[in-house]
Amino acid sequence: MSSRSPERVFYLTTPIYYINGPPHLGHAYTTIVADAMARYRRLAGDDVRLLTGTDEHGDKIAQAAARGGEPPQALADRNAQAFRDEWDALGITHDDFIRTTEPRHARVVQDILQALFDKGEIYFGKYGGSYCFGCERFYTDKEIVDGKCPDHQTPLTYIEEENYFFRMSVYQEWLRGYLERHPDVVQPDRYRNELLGFLREPLQDLSISRPTSRLQWGIPLPFDDRFVTYVWFDALLNYVSALGGPGAEDFRRYWPHVHHLIGKDILKPHGIYWPCMLKAAGLLRDDEARAELPGFARLRVHGYWTLGGGKISKSVGNVVEALALTRKYGNDAFRYFVLREMPFGQDANFTEDALVERLNADLANDLGNLVSRATTLIAAHAAKAPAGRVLTRDPGLEGAFRKGRAAVDAAMAEFAFHRALAAIWELITVVNQYVDSQQPWALAKDPGQTDRLVTVLGSLAEALRCLGLLLLPFVPESAARIRAAVGDRTEATLAAADFGRPWRSPEDLTAVQRLTGLFPRVDRTADTPTAGTPAATGPAGTATPTGRISIDEFKRLDLRVAEVVAAEPVPKSKKLLKLTIRLGDESRTIVAGIAEHYPPDALVGRKVVVVANLEPATLMGVASNGMVLAGSAGDALALLALDRDLPSGAKVR
Ligand code: MSP
């Protein structure tokens, strides 16, 4: 089976990230996913183009710059560089990095705006409505919750102004029909259903301008310089401007093969605005004319990482800290964890404990041990192989690799990275079992078994060579080390990962070098906890052998009943609330990641359970002194409550 098909072209984009802050876990996840996919398709022989970049205009950026007392361009320059540096540090292999403040982008945005205006797709009108500055969009009455933005839980501002509008409403039926007829354009399927859900409500025309009296930080409308372009209309077009715009050579080559990788938070602009914009601009083909344009800008949508829902002992406090764990554990371990842990499309919880668990179990134990024992055995006994003879391989392994490769291919076709890795790890298990059952160390002691020994060692070398190739997209640095250890200097291709290709001779076997410690085990009882960690688990040695804690260790937790006296959102955070609580006579501030589950007002006056002796930590600039306890399962979260009243400060045991 070969996945090599030189004709295939693959254009993959990430969202362009806002530069009002530095890169964090969420941005890194999407970019790592995109990179793994791009590397996989390149390995398969495709002509791949991977685009990422930064979204630099709009209110959000203008306000962040104003708060910091600097011009928006200076803020943009600094943070765009921070994104570039982070991607370099993570080894991301993007082919282009676009910034929306670049002239090459502004030119295409203005050209397309002018063309749409000339075609009558854009008109001047007046609109009044409730506006959220955080989301940079108007909310309809149906979407508003308790008079507030459903995302930010902040009050909305009523704004009435004259603006230019894109006639999006006329595309409603076209879009609905398209989504219904083509289930593959939005994956996983639940996100297509979500879009169809949006389309059950009448689609409004889209305001695509902002008056310069209110906002100057944007691309001027080419037909009226009293306005700048609405940031989403500007941002989405990066996918086209980075190819040089309609008509450019790269556009003709790559645009028909576009796949947009996005998080579920930006499904609506990508699944509703964007196809309508493309349709209006003539950048999508119609169903009938199956020509050179894509039928739809295909969307591949992933879920959200949440923090701290798991074990409280050593969880990370925020998304920037989570990304910093790449420095602590290495890029490959981090990549492996995020790709393996999150089923593509669903939410997952990020904890340092879970990362370390996978590092120790999957990487150090399964993969690292296999590489170490196999290369050690080969290096020790390769000289026994009779020269000048082609090595034979065990057919059992060949079948396993054939099946494994097909499973990886099928999973990658669906962006199911977790399944692709599970399939590779099944192979690793098969090869580890092969070593156990064949016992090459015993064969080596028996001169009558030399032939058998050489077959086993040759099969192991071949298995490592294939694994080195299959692992390249996911753990590139370690995979390259495996390839080097088995002496494979040939061009890396997926097609070459066919187990049993007749290339290996006994001389090759002697070129194999011992590779140990590919992923050293991490002992977390010995390491320093990250911010905001309680001392719930004792130092090394105090835990009982079963992994349970003693009653004395439990008693170190100071759990108390507390009364919430005030609650407000933490600025710029979707998830965090700042709570003022009373603990007996004492008043404290606690930051809790519950904003998506409880409106602040609903909490005031409630009794909750808190960990009172937690080390203080600063979250999004707010000092937090303690932790509120809640249960969680998947997306659901519930605060612990008392089933009858007790005074605040009461001890929980
Ligand atoms: N600038 C817009 C996108 C414009 S695209 C034309 C934007 N930027 S953003 O900086 O907020 O990045 C949003 C994206 O970052 C999400 O769609 C997702 O890809 C990623 N993530 C941010 N936080 C995330 C998690 N907690 N979990 C997973 N990914 C998330 O929106």
The predicted pLDDT at position 643 comes to 85
Average pLDDT, the chain: 89
Given pLDDT bands bounded at 50, 70 and 90, which one contains residue 547?
low
d(Cα 184, Cα 207) in Å, to the nearest integer? 29
Residues in the chain: 653
Positive or negative: CA dihedral 315, 316, 318, 323: negative
For residue 382, what pLDDT is reported?
Answer: 87
CA neighbor of 337 nearest in space, from 602, 317, 316: 316
| pLDDT for the residue numbered 545 | 36
Q: Measured between alpha carbons, how far is 255 from 105 in angstroms, rounded to an integer?
A: 16
Q: Using one digit for the tens of pLDDT, what is the confidence trace for 354-402?
A: 999 999 999 999 999 999 999 999 999 988 877 666 667 788 899 999 9
Read off the pLDDT band of 505 (50, 70, 90).
low
Return left, alpha or beta for 94; rule: phi > 0 is left, psi -120 to 50 is alpha, else beta.
beta
Q: Give the three-state DSSP class for 116.
A: helix
Instruction: Name the one residue in this structure whose structure tokens are 């930006």.
Output: 266
Output the pLDDT for position 442: 95
Residue with token string 């962006």: 415
Q: Do residues 379 and 444 make contact, with C-beta atoms less than 8 angstroms apart?
A: no
Q: Nearest residue CA, atom 24 of ligand 1?
A: 26
SS3 state at 499:
coil
Place of tokens 């995109």: 34
Tokens 């501002």 belong to which residue?
A: 157
DSSP string, 227-279: EEE-HHHHHHTHHHHTTTSTTSHHHHHHGGGEEEEEEGGGHHIIIIIHHHHHH
Asked whether 26 lines ligand 1 (CB < 6 A), one says yes
**Closest approach atom of ligand 1 to CA 17:** 10
Whether 629 shows a pLDDT value over 50: the answer reads yes
* Ligand 1 pocket check for 30: Cβ under 6 Å: yes
Strands 209-211 and 186-187: unpaired
Task: Give pLDDT, residue 278.
Answer: 94
Which residue in 135, 148, 418, 466 is the catalytic one? 135
Using CA positions, which residue lies closest to atom 2 of ligand 1? 17
For residues 227 and 181, is the Cβ–Cβ distance under 8 A? no
- pLDDT for the residue numbered 530: 35
Rounded distance from Cα 266 to ligand 1 centre (Å): 7
pLDDT at 301: 98
Cβ of 235 closer than 6 Å to ligand 1, yes or no, is: yes
More confident of the two residues 403 and 527: 403
Q: Give me the mean pLDDT over the 194-202 stretch.
A: 95
435: its two tokens: 């070593």
DSSP string, 388-411: T-PPP--HHHHHHHHHHHHHHHHH
Instruction: Examine the pLDDT at 526 and tell me if it is beyond 70.
Output: no
Mutate to test the pocket of ligand 1, among 12, 29, 238, 260 (most ligand atoms within 8 A of CB): 29
Q: Is 38 exposed, middle or buried (0-12, 13-18, 19+ CB in 10 A)?
A: buried
Cβ pair 290, 42 in contact under 8 A: no
- The amino acid present at 612, given as its one-letter code, is A
| pLDDT at residue number 534 | 30
Q: Which of 486, 557, 520, 138 is nearest to 367 (CA)?
A: 520
Q: How far is the CA of 27 from the centre of ligand 1 (A)?
A: 6
For residues 531 and 614, the answer to whether their CB atoms sit within 8 Å is no
Dist CA 45 CA 10 (whole Å):
10
| pLDDT (mean) for 288-308 | 76
Q: Could you give the CA distance from residue 311 to residue 389 in angstroms, rounded to a whole number?
A: 56
- C-alpha distances (whole Å) from 344 to each of 215, 223, 301 are 37, 43, 8
Query: Which ligand 1 atom is the nearest neighbour of the CA of 263?
Result: 17
pLDDT-based confidence at residue 123 (cuts at 50, 70, 90):
very high
**For residue 263, how far is its CA from the centre of ligand 1 (angstroms)?**
6
Q: Which atom of ligand 1 sits closest to the CA of residue 18?
A: 10
Question: What is the per-residue pLDDT across 30-83, written as a single tens digit (0 to 9) for each?
Answer: 999 999 999 999 999 999 999 999 999 998 899 999 999 999 999 999 999 999
pLDDT at 528: 40
> How far is C-alpha 202 from the geometric centre of its chain's CA atoms?
32
Based on the residue annotation, tell me whether 257 is a catalytic residue of this protein: no
Contact 591, 619 (CB under 8 A): yes
- Least confident piece of the model among 92-96, 340-344, 458-462, 632-636: 632-636
Give the sign of the dihedral formed by CA 586, CA 154, CA 318, CA 337.
positive
Number of helices (H), then strands (E), belonging to the chain: the values are: 22, 25
Q: Given this model, what pLDDT does residue 3 score?
A: 43
| Residue whose structure tokens are 């990962």 | 497
